[in-house]
Chain A
C-alpha cells in the first residue's frame, strides 16, 4: 500500500501549522536581552555623503548605538558576488554593507540604529542628519550604457559590469539566406517579488565563545553561513544559520544582504541579540527585484516557417550593485535556453550587464528563462502571422522530435528528454483549440476581439552538475546531500541540506522515503534549515530541491534498503542473493509470508544483538548527490483573452496548461506550483511593473501603486500534464517550481497581440494596463 505514496496527492503536512498561525518565522523569534535594529536608507538615488550627524539619535530614549560605515571598517568585508561569469570582462564593484562616501540607489544603507524596542529604533532614524550632495542618476539599462550617462562606480567604465556573448552555428549565413527576418524590441519590465513574509535577521553573538547564531529568511542557509563567514570573519564552525519557517522568496531570498551583515555586526559589537525585520516599504526598495531587460531580437526563417537563426542584444539592468547570483541569470540561465523547444541551427546573443541607480536585481521565479522563452515565443507567433500559418502549425514544423535520452542543441546544452509535440497536442485537445479558433472568427464578425496565445517552453533546472557550476563561474557546488536515520521504533529522521520556503518538501520527501522503504509518511520527520543539524545543501532555487535533493534522498533510501536486506537475510538465515524486497518487507524469494519488516530490521540494527559479521550497528546512510546533467521540464500553455477596444481592458478568460515534469511525487503540490507560477507570469503581462522616475525615486513603492495579481481577476487554471521521465534522475523527476512563470507571460502576451491584430496593433509594452492597450489601439487607428 505504501508504495503508492509516490504519485499520491496527499495533503501537505506543513499546512496545519501554517494556516493555524502556529508556525514560527524569523520575526517571531525573541531572545532575552534582544535589541532591535533599524536601517537608515538613502532617499537619493545617487549622492555623495558630505556628513552624518547622529548625535541627536544617540541621545534618544532607548537608543543603544548608531553605526555608520566608519564603524564597519575592518569588521565587514564587501558584500560578495558569487557568480563570476568567465570570459565576460566581469568587474565586481565594491559593495559595502554601509555606504561609504556615495549612495547609489534609493534604499542604500547609510546608518543603523540599535535600540531597546523596534519603535525607538525607527523613531531615531529621523533624528540622524545626513548631508547629501545629489548627483545625476540613471535608471534605464539602455540609457546607462550610453557614453554620457552618469557613472556609478569608478572601476566600472560605462556602467558595464559584464558583456557576455553566445555564438552557435553560422548566424551571418542564416540571416543572409533567410526568406523572412522579423525584429522585436521587447522590454521585460522590472518586477518586485513580493514574498508574503518580508526579510528579517536575528543575530546572536556570544562574545565569550565567539559563536554567532543567525536566524534568517533565507532560501539557502548553508550559502548564507559560507558568505557570512567570509564577510564577518566569524569562522564557519562558529557560525550557525537557521532558516525557520520562510514565507516565500521567488529568488529574492537567495542573496545575502547588507542589512543581514549589519545586524550581525551590531550583535558582535554589543554582545547582545539584535533583530532587524524589514517593513514592506523597505522590502520594495531594498530587497532584490527581477527581470529588467531591454531586448532587441531578430529571427530568421524560411518561407515555409522553418526557423533558421536567432540574433539578440540584451541590456540587462543589474541595479546599483551585483547581487549574489545576479550575473548568471541574464546569461547562463537565459542565453543557453534560446533554442527553446526547437532545433535552431544558428544563435547569437550579446548580453550587457549594466549598473543603474536602482535596487539590485536577482533571480525572480524563472530567472532568465522567462525572458528567453518570451523572446523566442513572441517571434514564433509573429512568424505565424507573417506567413499566414496557425501558430500551432509553425511550432509543429520546428519542434525537436521526441527523445528520451539526450538531445544536443546549438547553445551547447544537452536536453535530457522531451516530447514537445506530445505536450502541444494534448493542450490543443484539452483546450478545444479548433473550436476556440471558430469562436474567435465569429466574435470578430460581431466586433469582439478574442485572442489565443500559445507558449511552448523547455526550461533548464535542477541546477546542476558541480563541474558545470565551476566552469560557468558559480562560486559553489550544486550537489545536495541527505542523511536518513532509522530509530529503534522504526520511525525515520531525514536530515536534508535543501531548505524550503513553501515548496512542501516535508511532504514530498516523506513520500519518497515511504515509497522507497515502505514506511508510512507519518513516520518520517524531515529536518531542514539549520546548518548545525543538517548536512550541506546549496539552496532552494532553480527548481532544484526535488530534482537534486530528492535524488540524494532516493539514493540514500536505496543504501538503507541494501543494508537492511543484508541484516534481514542474516535474521532469516538466508543468502542475500536469495532475498526479495517489496513494500517494506524483506523475504526469501517465493516465501513472502516469512518476512522481516523494515521496522524489525531497524530495531535489530539499533540494538545490534545479532548482526551479520562485518556489518556496523545502526540503520543510517548518507549521500552527496551531484547530478550528471540538468533536468529539462517542458510544456505547452494557452491563454484565451478578450480585449475591449473601447476601454483597453484585457479579460483573461481561460488558461490551460500542459506541463511535463516527469513522474509526479505529489500531483497536488505540482498543481499548486503550476498555479502559483502561472499567476506570477500573468502578473508580469497584465499588471506588475516597478517604476522609477528619472531621478531614481521608486514610484511604485507600496502595494497601492504596484498591482500584484488577485484571485478575483483570474480564471480557473486548467492544469494537465504528460509524463516524460528524466533518463538520469533516480526517480525520473524534473523540477516544476518555475515552469508556470516561464510560459505564462508570453502566452498572455501572444493572446493579447492575437486579439488586437485585426485592429492593426503591432506592439504594446507590458504590463497591459487598459490605458496602454487603449492608446495602442488609438495609435493604430491613426496610422
Chain B
C-alpha cells in the first residue's frame, strides 16, 4: 500500500523539523499512541491502539528515524504487530521552505497482514489519511502553543 501526502505550516522548516522528530510531541500527536519510549538514538518502542474498519486492537512495535538532515528530510521505519495483524512500513519525509512557512511532503509504502489485511485493506488508505491529517493538525496546534514564548 502506498502512502502519500503533504501538509503546510506557518512556521519555518527548522521549527517544524524539530517538532516532528521530538518523541514527546510525536507521542502526544500520533492518534492512538499509548506509549513511546526510547530504545536508543532515534529508535523508539511504540504502543498504538487503532481501529480500522471493524478491526480494533493494540499494536506494539518499533519506530526508527534515519538519515536525519535538519531541516530538509528524514526517513522513518515502522514495524509493529498485534492481534489484528502486522504493519511494516517506511517512507521519507521532506520539508521545504515556502512563502508562508513550510511544506511537508511524505511518501512511503506499508505492508499489512492478518485480519486488517483481509477485512480492512479497502479502508486502510482512507484510515491512514485521517490519521496523518490528525497528526499534522496536532503538530500545528503544538506550534501555535509555542508561538507566544518562541515568537
Contact B83 A43 (CB under 8 A): no
Closest to A281 in B: B118
Chain A contacts for B86, CB-based, 8 A: 43-44
A697 within 8 A of partner (CB): yes
Contact A699 B83 (CB under 8 A): no
Contact B114 A701 (CB under 8 A): no
Chain B contacts for A285, CB-based, 8 A: 118
Closest to B111 in A: A695
B138 within 8 A of partner (CB): no
A19 within 8 A of partner (CB): no
Contact B88 A134 (CB under 8 A): yes
With the chains together, A502 CA to B83 CA distance in Å? Answer: 38
* Interface bits B97-121 vs A (CB < 8 Å: 1, else 0): 0000000000000011111011101
Chain B contacts for A783, CB-based, 8 A: none
Minimum Cβ distance to chain A for residue B109 (Å): 10
Contact A697 B113 (CB under 8 A): yes
Contact B122 A697 (CB under 8 A): no
Chain A contacts for B112, CB-based, 8 A: 697
Minimum Cβ distance to chain B for residue A39 (Å): 14
Minimum Cβ distance to chain B for residue A331 (Å): 32
Query: When A134-B88, A705-B122 are in contact, do A126 and B83 touch as well, CB less than 8 Å?
Result: yes
Chain A contacts for B85, CB-based, 8 A: 43
A698 within 8 A of partner (CB): yes
A106 within 8 A of partner (CB): yes
Closest to A700 in B: B118
Chain B contacts for A281, CB-based, 8 A: 115, 118-119
Chain A contacts for B122, CB-based, 8 A: 699, 705
Q: Which of B66-104 contact A (CB under 8 A)?
A: 83, 85-86, 88
Q: Which of B1-43 contact A (CB under 8 A)?
A: 1
Q: Which of B117-135 contact A (CB under 8 A)?
A: 117-119, 121-122
Closest to A41 in B: B114
Closest to A701 in B: B118
Contact B113 A702 (CB under 8 A): no
Chain B contacts for A698, CB-based, 8 A: 117-118
Contact A43 B113 (CB under 8 A): yes
Contact B119 A693 (CB under 8 A): no
* Interface bits A152-178 vs B (CB < 8 Å: 1, else 0): 000000000000000000000000000
With the chains together, A695 CA to B1 CA distance in Å? Answer: 10
Which of B86, B118, B121, B122 has its CB near the most chain A CB atoms (within 10 A)? B118
Contact B111 A701 (CB under 8 A): no
With the chains together, A126 CA to B57 CA distance in Å? Answer: 11
Contact A43 B114 (CB under 8 A): yes
With the chains together, A693 CA to B119 CA distance in Å? Answer: 13
Closest to A697 in B: B117
Closest to A702 in B: B119
Contact B118 A697 (CB under 8 A): yes
Contact B121 A693 (CB under 8 A): yes
A704 within 8 A of partner (CB): yes
Contact A704 B113 (CB under 8 A): no
Q: Which of A490-515 contact B (CB under 8 A)?
A: none
Chain A contacts for B115, CB-based, 8 A: 281
With the chains together, A38 CA to B121 CA distance in Å? Answer: 24
Chain A contacts for B117, CB-based, 8 A: 43, 106, 693, 697-699, 701
Contact A704 B119 (CB under 8 A): yes
Minimum Cβ distance to chain A for residue B142 (Å): 35
Q: Which of A685-720 contact B (CB under 8 A)?
A: 693, 695, 697-699, 701-702, 704-705
Chain B contacts for A126, CB-based, 8 A: 83
With the chains together, A697 CA to B121 CA distance in Å? Answer: 10
With the chains together, A697 CA to B115 CA distance in Å? Answer: 10
Chain B contacts for A45, CB-based, 8 A: 113
Minimum Cβ distance to chain B for residue A595 (Å): 67
With the chains together, A44 CA to B111 CA distance in Å? Answer: 10
Minimum Cβ distance to chain B for residue A429 (Å): 47
With the chains together, A147 CA to B77 CA distance in Å? Answer: 30
With the chains together, A285 CA to B113 CA distance in Å? Answer: 12
Closest to A44 in B: B113
- A701 contact from B1, B83, B88, B119, Cβ within 8 A: B119
Minimum Cβ distance to chain A for residue B141 (Å): 36
With the chains together, A45 CA to B118 CA distance in Å? Answer: 13
Q: Which of A108-137 contact B (CB under 8 A)?
A: 126, 134
Chain A contacts for B83, CB-based, 8 A: 126
Closest to B82 in A: A126
Chain A contacts for B1, CB-based, 8 A: 693
Q: Enumerate chain B interface residues (CB-CB to A < 8 A).
A: 1, 83, 85-86, 88, 111-115, 117-119, 121-122
Considering the complex of A and B, which 9 residue pairs feature the smallest CB-CB distances, nearest first? A701-B118, A43-B114, A697-B117, A43-B113, A126-B83, A695-B111, A699-B121, A697-B113, A43-B85
Known: A43-B117, A285-B118, A697-B112. 17 other contacts (CB 8 A): A43-B85, A43-B114, A106-B113, A106-B117, A126-B83, A134-B88, A281-B115, A284-B118, A693-B121, A697-B121, A698-B118, A699-B117, A699-B118, A699-B121, A701-B119, A702-B118, A702-B119
For this complex, 22 residue pairs linking A to B, each with C-beta atoms less than 8 Å apart, are A43-B86, A43-B114, A43-B117, A44-B113, A106-B113, A106-B117, A126-B83, A134-B88, A281-B118, A281-B119, A284-B118, A285-B118, A695-B111, A697-B112, A697-B117, A697-B121, A698-B117, A698-B118, A699-B118, A701-B119, A702-B118, A704-B119
